[in-house]
Structure 1
Amino acid sequence: MLIKPMLALCVASTAIAGAAMAEGTTYGPRPFYLIDRMHDGPLKEKLASCTGQAPSMSKFSIGHRGAPLQFPEHTVESNVAAARMGAGILECDVTFTADKELVCRHAQNDLHTTTDILATDLATKCTKPFSPASGNRNASAECRASDITLAEFRTLTAKMDAANTKGTTVAEYMDGTAGWRTDLYSVQDGTLMTHAESIALFDSLGADFTPELKSASVDMPHDGFSQADYAQKMIDDYKAAGIDPARVWVQSFDLDDVKYWIENEPEFGAQAVYLDDRYAESDEDEGLIDYMDPATFKPTMQELADMGVKYIAPPMWMLLTLDDAGNMVASPYATEAQAAGLNVITWTLEPSGPLINGGGWYFQSVREAIDTDGDYFTILHALREEAGVVGVFSDWPATVTYYANCIGLD
């Protein structure tokens, strides 16, 4: 089995990226495309007035898995693109391989949609081998990072995260990229990374770090590897690299992970981010919170603050609602977080293509106020001015960077 020289590729790409960063960041055409499509008004006038500004990195702009609107996520190439677009913080979603090595993947069980594993000999190691579509049955597969060793992981090539569930062959199944995305930047090798390699890359790009400890697809403890071991191992990579904890915002959807860092690694725990997915999406979601009803917040925002949590990160729609005039305003969730002194980060801008039909799941609370792609800036402005967010994850960081530079956010 041929093992790609991943670290060498990473170092080479880093050198190229470092030279590019020395020349400055670039917005590319998209922010201007969005401004052109905004409705006339003060915000459009303000953003249009900044068209001649010099792009610069901003920590308000967070690369969500890099720049996966067009680049394969969690790759060297995706993160270099995000840094070139001014993302001041970059993300590695952290999971582990069969030999307990930490790697960057959005989920432990996503290799079948984010890499070429099904087209390789490693497909035989997948938890659930490829099953073709037949009749009313969709094609399916499940391949986990924990199914293979780090050495085997290094042989894979990243691709755009997608699957064609109507595929009757592996090739058809792997060819599922949405029409508003592109495979243009994944026709050549998409370079996967270990967590440690992501630290070296992001540091060389002048960006800070927001690693997310992903929930394991295997039962924990796994072969003697406990959840605490997992949470600690991620921190240890930053210590080994000599990274100042003030540059790191560790994240988890599991409040116990956040509490572990607060209690056991207080320097890192001081900026630990509680990713909030407690949202109720229907009346059947008992025990979950209604973002419009503070009585359902369990624990409350103040209780979270009393635990030592300083950062909370819900999806965008939980932070905004519409007033009687149809304007985007802060939701009760956002105002309660502000009252408790919590710093709010949110996810994810530009994850789902054109907004002309309301934008989908991420925009559900303000759907009636959306009718143009220019509303990405309308939403971004409301998140900052109404909900008071201190950072925004984006699948195309140039949009957030342009806004941050224009209104003077570092």
Structure 2
Amino acid sequence: MIRSILATSALCIALAAPALPDTAHVGPRPLYLVDQMADGALKDKLLSCADQPVRRTDFSIGHRGAALQFPEHTAQSYTAAARMGAGIVECDVTFTADKQLVCRHAQNDLHTTTNILGTDLASKCTAPFTPASGETKANAECRASDLTLAEFQTLRGKMDAANPNATTTQEFMDATANWRTDLYAAHGTLLTHAQSIALIKSHGAKFTPELKAPVVAMPFDGMTQENYAQMLIDDYKAAGIPASDVRPQSFNLADVLYWIDAEPDFGKQAVYLVSWAGDFDEQDPATWQEDFAALRAQGVNYLAPSMNMMLTNADGEIAASAYARAAREAGLQLIGWSLERSGPLDGGGGWYYGSINDLVTSDGDMYAVIDVLAQDVGVVGLFSDWPATVSYYASCMDLP
């Protein structure tokens, strides 16, 4: 009960905060990255903006808030993203056992993103914690749909992590990557979708909710997939949010087409998310799953591929991929995801930079990537776990 009261109080304080001015607070990280760049025109340009105010920009999208250092999808993470100049903030949407919409990256991630395994609610998890033993890894699966909304709201958000070699629940939960931090993880306030709308609105930012794929069978207690997609839109209508301020998104094309048909004012901003998979080659159309012309004919205006799909190595230079160019030529507006999820970039940036790993040698290369995405690919927005990085670039380059 005490924990629930404290969480509610923290949320009330956050929602009572006045809207932030358009000037952002980006801290030392943008210039820390610029300092590591190779000398050249881009570095000079970014340095020239060092003493200029950074403004809020829709080009900067808070991916799960500011999840590099704040527990994702919490009031604290969303607030940090808005303060860093993110003009748009993301709530990933799933549902509880009583069919209430809440902000979580996946329906079944409570064991890695909250403190549930350290509470009495651990007994309600789909798969309670089992310790590592021999070659068997530690395991747990806790779903939002395992809990009622009231139970969900007693939990605290934590940095997304799990230790597969853990023999205790505490070891399992205490696994934050060494390039992240638990410094701000003590008070991760979880949110319903409606609460996220009120909080993000209070900071003057816009919205990009993602309808997450259920892990439970649908219909769920009578709720169909279309009911679920409609509930997401209904929360914005109830809050009086203009459709033009909302970019609903999904990896499920059927969700996007539902919004286009049933809620055309929202549907024209709907974002179809796609990811590198299988034998995809960013330069070989034979490996692409998306038919760009068909998507446009169905009313899809926005496509959001993972960054690795939109970048390529062109004779030793980072460049727009053939995939990105073809999508743009078909009339699709592109959005990229996600910066700041790979840790230090020395020696390659991992999956998100998979098509250009051999060109990524330091954290300073992040701004080279942003510049290609903005200027060559022509993305209209870029997700980041630390929106200050993108806000600084967009403000310096005078992007919308």
Give the TM-score normalised by the residue count of structure 1. Answer: 0.95
Where does residue 261 of structure 2 map in the other structure?
263
Where does residue 285 of structure 1 map in the other structure?
none
**Residue from 223, 226, 235 that aligns with 2:224:** 226
Measured in 2, the distance between the counterparts of 1:23 and 1:238 equals 23
Cα deviation 1:308-358 (Å, max 9, x = unaligned): 00000010010010112x111111110111111100001000111100020
1:405 aligns with 2:395: yes
Q: Structure 2 matches for 1:278-357, cutoff 5 A?
A: 279-282=276-279, 289-324=280-315, 326-357=316-347
2:23 partner letter: G
1:275 aligns with 2:276: no
Task: Assess if the C-alpha contact under 8 Å between 1:72 and 1:160 holds in 2.
Answer: yes
Where does residue 195 of structure 2 map in the other structure?
197
Measured in 2, the distance between the counterparts of 1:291 and 1:256 equals 24
Structure 1 consecutive aligned stretches of length 4 or more whose deviation exceeds 6 Å: none
Task: Assess if the C-alpha contact under 8 Å between 1:7 and 1:197 holds in 2.
Answer: no
Cα deviation 1:357-393 (Å, max 9, x = unaligned): 2010000111111111001101000111111111000
Measured in 2, the distance between the counterparts of 1:349 and 1:202 equals 21
Measured in 2, the distance between the counterparts of 1:403 and 1:90 equals 17
Where does residue 73 of structure 1 map in the other structure?
72
Query: CA offset at residue 298 of structure 1?
Result: 3.9
Cα deviation 1:44-99 (Å, max 9, x = unaligned): 01101100111110000000000000000000000110111000000000000000
Where does residue 387 of structure 1 map in the other structure?
377
3-state SS of paired residue (2:335): strand
Measured in 2, the distance between the counterparts of 1:15 and 1:331 equals 45
Task: Assess if the C-alpha contact under 8 Å between 1:3 and 1:152 holds in 2.
Answer: no
Query: CA offset at residue 9 of structure 1?
Result: 2.6
Measured in 2, the distance between the counterparts of 1:7 and 1:198 equals 13
Distance 1:160 1:366, change over 3 A: same
3-state SS of paired residue (2:129): strand
1:14 aligns with 2:15: yes
Measured in 2, the distance between the counterparts of 1:340 and 1:392 equals 20
Where does residue 27 of structure 1 map in the other structure?
26
Measured in 2, the distance between the counterparts of 1:351 and 1:388 equals 21
3-state SS of paired residue (1:137): coil
Root-mean-square deviation (CA, aligned residues, Å) is: 1.3
Give the TM-score normalised by the residue count of structure 2. Answer: 0.97
Task: Assess if the C-alpha contact under 8 Å between 1:3 and 1:151 holds in 2.
Answer: no
Where does residue 88 of structure 2 map in the other structure?
89
3-state SS of paired residue (2:44): helix
3-state SS of paired residue (2:23): coil
Measured in 1, the distance between the counterparts of 2:132 and 2:193 equals 35
Query: CA offset at residue 8 of structure 1?
Result: 4.1
Measured in 1, the distance between the counterparts of 2:77 and 2:243 equals 24
Measured in 2, the distance between the counterparts of 1:152 and 1:70 equals 26
3-state SS of paired residue (1:4): helix
Task: Assess if the C-alpha contact under 8 Å between 2:112 and 2:173 holds in 1.
Answer: yes
Query: CA offset at residue 13 of structure 1?
Result: 1.4
1:4 partner letter: S
2:373 partner letter: L
3-state SS of paired residue (2:354): helix
Where does residue 150 of structure 1 map in the other structure?
149
Where does residue 4 of structure 1 map in the other structure?
4
Task: Assess if the C-alpha contact under 8 Å between 2:84 and 2:391 holds in 1.
Answer: yes
Unmatched runs of 5 consecutive residues or more in structure 2: none
Q: Structure 2 matches for 1:134-213, cutoff 5 A?
A: 134-186=133-185, 188-213=186-211
Equivalent residue pairs, number: 399
Measured in 1, the distance between the counterparts of 2:3 and 2:229 equals 28
Measured in 1, the distance between the counterparts of 2:79 and 2:62 equals 10
1:75 partner letter: T
1:368 partner letter: D
3-state SS of paired residue (1:135): coil
Measured in 2, the distance between the counterparts of 1:274 and 1:299 equals 10
3-state SS of paired residue (1:344): strand
Task: Assess if the C-alpha contact under 8 Å between 1:37 and 1:374 holds in 2.
Answer: yes
Task: Assess if the C-alpha contact under 8 Å between 2:22 and 2:85 holds in 1.
Answer: no
Query: CA offset at residue 10 of structure 1?
Result: 1.8
Query: CA offset at residue 293 of structure 1?
Result: 1.8
Measured in 2, the distance between the counterparts of 1:68 and 1:398 equals 12
1:320 partner letter: L
Query: CA offset at residue 296 of structure 1?
Result: 3.6
- Identity of matched residues, %: 59
